[in-house]
Structure 1
């Protein structure tokens, strides 16, 4: 009897220990867990993805090519978005979305129908929503500014199941609850609002012209707009009632871009400079945290992000040879310089 009780206790301890170890298993899920992907836009010859580990040592210049040899990745890579253990990589110049395991980067599927110049995507509840520029007004004056749409993708079948016509131009997209918020920077002064339950347009939000980057935090949509030749501004939209407040920038900060919110700070860029301001501030700080050196004609600050107490900058270079990515501390100390692929345009964190 005593032996049985001792054996039972021993087995119970072993079982609980095993469960505890499983629950606390923080081992990497693959070669590309715990790090950042750098999306390289490339050109008509194709794009690529680079990877930098959180240890700031592990680096691979062409992740997709090394994990999927012989596969055609696509031209003019535009955006990456995640859902569960999958990453969706938009090749805007090839009308393709490559679906890979986000930790191994092995190809799972390709979404190749129902897309026309895809731009940016988000995912929620088994569906992805991808903006499509369709045609452009310079090539199609009649409908180029009104034929954009959102492709609704079933993430089980990896098929476009429907589309939501926008009667407008569409670019960046963010999601909050069941609503999509889509920037329309080229031909309007509004942010489009799409109800994903009814798949219909709701009343748009007027933010002024040239909205370029957006982010939702704590029920507020932050939009950075930089009208050509005019003052930049940050528009704050309280999504519960659509009320709008603005933070107007001085002309010295015109052409600001790359809004990113990290902690209690709003970060943005102007030229080669990185700036920040308190999220509650009513005016921006005009002195940059730091500036970096670039000789690129069109690729200055081509990609930008703030994450994990670091600032990430992508420089497009000449868009023919490999570009550069830089990692700085929040105070502007250079921590890493990387030769990535052609035209690096974005950072995507895989933690």
Structure 2
């Protein structure tokens, strides 16, 4: 509910860290131009087809699909994973094309393409002129110079580095395992670009947020092993919700067997978490950070492909059959459906202005 924004100055980065790192690249900045009053949807597109795209949903409910391609007269590429706003630019992570497209925030006109990546997932600014990109292909974080949009170094983490947040001088990277296995979070000193600690949090950590107290919350999915012939579950481990404070694990909440949670998100106040339970129904649950146990009652009883939060609202996506255009849904914080719009193919996340 998880997983990831900045009119960046160093001071602003420290003050607003928790709200800048919410799941599926949720951002909270002002867009003064064509895309001022609404939000973006990242549409993965079909793997290998090069039809990933961006949709723009205005506050009046109108939808413009494939806005990047329309403005620039060339497609984004293969598998649009996430989107982040840093300073005056948007950074669109195109996983299957091994690149990040950089465009103006107010017009989406292309500015640059960051290449040299292998399998990028998420990008997060760590200072005024530096960002980190998680990259499955190197099992680490690529360090990006935001002045010239180049890779300056690589920080080795664990297998399948996924979502990342920044707080109090450190970056916290979920090592999801990727196509292998991992159960750790890498903690990086963002001034020196080095891993200073590795915490074992539970199998397959997939999403992470920062709360109002600057505590870090990590959601782990748990590991599931299937029979290669029958596809029956032959072994599984439980998912966990873990609180990290002062770079140490402070609390662990364990899910029941069979639930494999994902998509961790947090509200704008930084005190309510949201996540999908990860079973076949994938209902959405909430968790107050002052609670001492997980809720057994779903807030929203339906399945989503992706989950995001922004400004008191909950957003979910539905990929339908993974071929036709999907949907983006908007809910109140009480779980009431407010709006639904048809977007692109395999919508996976949102980016808010």
Count of aligned pairs between the two proteins: 300
Map 1:45-194 → 2, pairs under 5 A: 45=49, 46-53=51-58, 55-69=59-73, 71-112=74-115, 114-123=116-125, 124-134=127-137, 147-166=138-157, 168-186=159-177, 187-194=181-188
Q: 1:338 to 1:226 in 2, by over 3 A?
A: same
- Structure 1, gaps ≥5 residues long: 1-26, 135-146, 293-299
Q: Give SS of 2:45's match.
A: strand
C-alpha deviation, 1:92, in angstroms: 0.8
Map 1:134-283 → 2, pairs under 5 A: 134=137, 147-166=138-157, 168-186=159-177, 187-217=181-211, 218-227=213-222, 228=224, 229-238=236-245, 240-251=246-257, 254-262=259-267, 263=269, 264-270=271-277, 271-283=281-293
C-alpha deviation, 1:167, in angstroms: 5.8
The answer on whether the counterparts of 1:56 and 1:336 sit within 8 Å (CA) in structure 2 is: no
C-alpha deviation, 1:241, in angstroms: 4.8
C-alpha deviation, 1:158, in angstroms: 1.1
Larger relative contact order, structure 1 or 2 (CA cutoff 8 Å, min sep 6): 2
C-alpha deviation, 1:277, in angstroms: 2.1
Which residue is 1:326 aligned to?
Answer: 329
Higher alpha-carbon Rg: 1
C-alpha deviation, 1:28, in angstroms: 6.2
Q: Which moved more, 1:216-225 or 1:271-280?
A: 271-280
Q: 1:34 to 1:291 in 2, by over 3 A?
A: same
- Structure 2, gaps ≥5 residues long: 1-29, 225-235
Q: Give SS of 1:171's match.
A: strand
| CA distance in 2 between partners of 1:158 and 1:29 (Å) | 23
Map 1:326-345 → 2, pairs under 5 A: 326-345=329-348
* Runs of 4 or more consecutive aligned structure 1 residues displaced over 6 Å after TM superposition: none
Normalised by the length of structure 1, the TM-score is 0.81
Q: Which moved more, 1:95-104 or 1:58-67?
A: 58-67
Normalised by the length of structure 2, the TM-score is 0.80
| CA distance in 2 between partners of 1:261 and 1:28 (Å) | 22
Q: 1:157 to 1:221 in 2, by over 3 A?
A: same
Which residue is 2:39 aligned to?
Answer: 36
Q: 1:208 to 1:347 in 2, by over 3 A?
A: same
RMSD of aligned C-alpha atoms? 1.8
Provide Cα deviations, 1:202-242, integer angstroms capped at 9, x if missing partner: 1201201121111112221101112133433210000x252
C-alpha deviation, 1:168, in angstroms: 4.0
C-alpha deviation, 1:286, in angstroms: 0.8
C-alpha deviation, 1:47, in angstroms: 0.4
